[in-house]
């Protein structure tokens, strides 16, 4: 299993999905301020200190939680699906093939991320737009009251297909993120336990999640920056594709622009990974202890 509780006691698939959703909601509540800061940095193209100052000056502390409802719905769709699918496939694979190698873990993570991100793209689109309103003049702001208002408005004005704007870069990013995060997290746990340095527990989950969070940030940020540009596109012309967006950013802003927002992204990715993985580990352990027969 992903979280290595026991190789002979496995959770029902529906439990994997429920645990994934709960863990994602807890994690996004803790990490949303840094996520919103990262999106603002990518849209406004401002440094971290200036972005934080302007957000607090204009909206106060609640400004860092703009788009929180969209973040919660995204976790209930995206994270529920990705973690549920990953844990289920991991359980099946280990049952038939035994201990998995790192490339296999990464591949399972990438597949899970693609499936989950397709389900979660509408909520992700609303999240980016709610945060991105900050760069628009008042008369052009979308002013979504919450995620459901945003979904209905997009459906009415842009059609059902409009809800999946940016789906390709979102799925590409998710493949990279989940392959790196879930695969690296699983492998890191094995590494720590094999060396005898750490045993099963919160510290093991924390150290493994910090490693996977760093790998995720480095590998996924360029695609994430392109995704944000596409989803926040306001010009009458059709938004660019992911490759065009990346090339344009390199030509106009330099290659370093692809990693703009690295610090808030890692500051968000690492705690988000820690909270998510610790919650998943503990919830799985609780289920096995209280609801699963020996």
pLDDT along the chain (294 residues), means of 10: 45 85 86 82 82 86 86 88 89 87 89 92 89 77 89 93 87 84 84 84 84 85 81 74 84 84 77 81 85 63
Q: Write out the two tokens for 85.
A: 């699918």
Looking at residue 155, its pLDDT comes to 94
Looking at residue 154, its pLDDT comes to 93
Helices and strands per DSSP (H, E), number in the chain: 10, 0
Question: CA-CA distance, 222 to 151, in Å (whole number)?
Answer: 26
Looking at residue 152, its pLDDT comes to 95
Place of tokens 């190789």: 7
Looking at residue 260, its pLDDT comes to 81
Question: CA-CA distance, 125 to 233, in Å (whole number)?
Answer: 11
Looking at residue 6, its pLDDT comes to 39
Looking at residue 294, its pLDDT comes to 53
Please give the DSSP secondary-structure letter assigned to residue 236. S
Q: Which CATH architecture has domain 13-286?
A: Alpha/alpha barrel (1.50)
Neighbours of 69 (CB within 10 A): 20
Nearest to 81 by CA among 184, 7, 164, 174: 174
Q: What is the pTM of this model?
A: 0.66
Q: Could you tell me the residue ranges of all domains in the chain?
A: 13-286
Question: CA-CA distance, 224 to 279, in Å (whole number)?
Answer: 25
* Measured distance between the N- and C-terminal CA atoms of the chain, rounded to whole angstroms: 17
């Amino acid at each position: 299993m992903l979280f290595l509780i026991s190789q002979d006691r496995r959770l029902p698939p529906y439990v994997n999905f429920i645990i994934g959703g709960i863990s994602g909601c807890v994690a996004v509540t803790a990490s949303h301020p840094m996520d919103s800061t990262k999106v603002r940095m990518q849209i406004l193209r401002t440094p971290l200190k200036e972005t934080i100052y302007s957000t607090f000056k204009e909206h106060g502390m609640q400004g860092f939680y703009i788009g929180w409802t969209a973040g919660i719905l995204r976790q209930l769709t995206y994270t529920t699906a990705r973690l549920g699918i990953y844990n289920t496939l991991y359980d099946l694979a280990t049952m038939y093939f035994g201990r998995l190698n790192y490339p296999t873990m990464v591949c399972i993570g990438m597949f899970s991320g693609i499936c989950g991100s397709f389900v979660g793209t509408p909520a992700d689109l609303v999240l980016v737009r709610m945060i991105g309103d900050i760069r628009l003049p008042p008369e052009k702001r979308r002013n979504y009251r919450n995620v459901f208002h945003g979904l209905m408005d997009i459906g009415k004005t842009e059609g059902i297909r409009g809800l999946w704007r940016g789906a390709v870069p979102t799925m590409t990013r998710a493949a990279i993120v989940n392959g790196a995060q879930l695969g690296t997290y699983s492998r890191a746990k094995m590494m720590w336990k094999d060396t005898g340095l750490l045993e099963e527990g919160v510290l093991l989950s924390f150290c493994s999640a910090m490693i996977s969070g760093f790998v995720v940030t480095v590998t996924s940020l360029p695609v994430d920056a392109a995704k944000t540009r596409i989803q926040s596109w306001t010009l009458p012309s059709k938004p660019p594709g992911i490759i065009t967006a990346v090339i344009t950013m390199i030509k106009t802003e330099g290659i370093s622009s692809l990693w703009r927002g690295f610090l808030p992204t890692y500051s968000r990715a690492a705690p988000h990974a820690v909270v998510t993985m610790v919650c998943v580990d503990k919830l799985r352990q609780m289920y096995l202890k209280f609801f699963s027969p020996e």
